[in-house]
Structure 1
Amino acid sequence: MARRTQEQRKSETRSRLIDAAAELFAAKGFHAVSAEAVADAAGRTTGALYSHFGGKEGLLLALLEVWKDRTAAHLAPGLAADPDPQAHAAAMWRSITRPAGDRGDSWLLLELELWLHGARDAQAGSPLARRYAEIRRELGEGLADWAAATGTVLPRPPEETGALVLGVLLGCALQHRLDPAAVPERLVVEAVSGVLGAHSVRPEGPEGPENK
């Protein structure tokens, strides 16, 4: 029982540090927030933060992995049962642009914080590059599995497909963050469907009501 209690405490400490970092990093920026500030907000010691994550960089990577895992778990059941590529594209887009109360807004800002940190710091850039490589691989494998299950032929190798889909989603999300009306879901769905070789058909042709 004592061992179980200790593991529960470790898990709670980890969760509290991740939650505190998510709020602070997204609101103030990675470099503007100290390890001490995160620990204080979580009601834990700085030593606990370093023990669990090795520092702020490790904490940022960890909380983004939590986001990725939660998003994948949320998307998987519906996508596995739906052969429509447009439904896949819409679901992925909504996972990135979820309301701020659901942390969709915060996660995008955190992703940018991590990218900026990695782009400016060569030492941090290597694990970041590996992280993106893993995301491209996992996304490509998921799309390849979907294609095999639905009899769809992807026009590109899985990892290249993953790279393009990720690029469309993140690039559109950046624009959407500042001007949502300029990047409607329809546009993103069409772009991702195009990458998958399945262009959507617009009602009433190019001048249909949703394009006016």
Structure 2
Amino acid sequence: MEALLVGAERAFAERGFHGASIGYICQCAGRTTGAFYSNYDSKLKLFLDVFRRHGDRTADYIGERIAHVDTGRDLAPQLARIFAGIFSGEHLDARWVFIHLEFRMMALRDHEAATALVDHENWFSGRIGTMLDALFERAGHRPALTGTELAALLGAMTRGIKLDRAIYAVGGVADPLSSDQMAKALEGLFRSVM
């Protein structure tokens, strides 16, 4: 099962959801199509497992950084640096921007994909939101937004900024927002809700 997930992640990253055939996924995994069908009844279900693994890694990365926030100091610049790093792509594989966008477009036309995407977004925002709520509680803050609401906002911002950055890169144009500028803007956002 692990080999299938690793192979599928590679295949989806290289060719996208629609471009990665079950045969190519199995080739990347070093498994037969029988191995695929003994574990999954659709490519969508395999993709969702891969998508969830990617979400787990991202949430773990954010959680490690939030755990090191010093609650005795101003939270806004510390949180701003964490999320500016994510916006800048210091952690997230840029190929996932395209995979995520492709999946979002598919979800506009496919009820099963839309339901799965909403469930994933709610799970992810809830997981990050729980971390933020715990941090705010430790620091004695009562923010205007819940951690989950703030996580949903940050997730939408991340997707938009990463998409724009990818387009600038393909076009050979310098990104108009530096990491420092993003950190300043995020610091203002965090201050406005805390």
Q: Same fold per TM (> 0.5)?
A: yes
Instruction: Give the structure 1 partner of residue 24 of structure 2.
Output: 37
Distance in 1 of aligned mates of 2:186 and 2:37: 40
Instruction: Give the structure 1 partner of residue 4 of structure 2.
Output: 17
Instruction: Give the structure 2 partner of residue 48 of structure 1.
Output: 35
| CA root-mean-square deviation | 2.4
CA spacing shift, 1:90–1:36, aligned 2, 3 Å: same
On the 8 A contact 1:168/1:191 being kept in 2, the answer is no
Instruction: Give the structure 1 partner of residue 171 of structure 2.
Output: none
Distance in 2 of aligned mates of 1:97 and 1:64: 20
Gaps of 5+ in 2: 169-173
Query: Residue 124 in 1 paired to residue 104 in 2?
Result: no
SS in 2 for 1:183: coil
CA spacing shift, 1:190–1:59, aligned 2, 3 Å: farther
Q: Deviations over 1:88-131 (max 9, x none)?
A: 333234346446xx761122222223212222211221111111
Instruction: Give the structure 2 partner of residue 113 of structure 1.
Output: 102
Instruction: Give the structure 2 partner of residue 165 of structure 1.
Output: 154
Query: Residue 77 in 1 paired to residue 97 in 2?
Result: no
CA spacing shift, 1:167–1:65, aligned 2, 3 Å: same
On the 8 A contact 2:58/2:92 being kept in 1, the answer is no
On the 8 A contact 2:63/2:128 being kept in 1, the answer is no
Shift of 1:167: 1.4
* Dislocated runs of 4+, deviation >6 Å: none
Structure whose alpha-carbon radius of gyration is higher = 1
CA spacing shift, 1:19–1:113, aligned 2, 3 Å: farther
Q: Deviations over 1:130-168 (max 9, x none)?
A: 111112222222211111112233122333222211111
On the 8 A contact 1:61/1:114 being kept in 2, the answer is no
Q: How many residues align?
A: 184
Partner AA of 1:62 in structure 2:
D
On the 8 A contact 1:17/1:49 being kept in 2, the answer is yes
Distance in 2 of aligned mates of 1:97 and 1:106: 14
Shift of 1:64: 1.7
TM-score when scaled to structure 2? 0.81
Query: Residue 133 in 1 paired to residue 127 in 2?
Result: no
On the 8 A contact 1:97/1:104 being kept in 2, the answer is no
- RCO higher in structure (CA 8 A, sep ≥6): 2
On the 8 A contact 2:126/2:148 being kept in 1, the answer is yes
Partner AA of 1:197 in structure 2:
R
Query: Residue 186 in 1 paired to residue 180 in 2?
Result: yes
Instruction: Give the structure 2 partner of residue 155 of structure 1.
Output: 144
CA spacing shift, 1:89–1:114, aligned 2, 3 Å: farther
SS in 2 for 1:197: helix
Shift of 1:29: 2.2
Instruction: Give the structure 2 partner of residue 88 of structure 1.
Output: 79
Shift of 1:44: 0.4
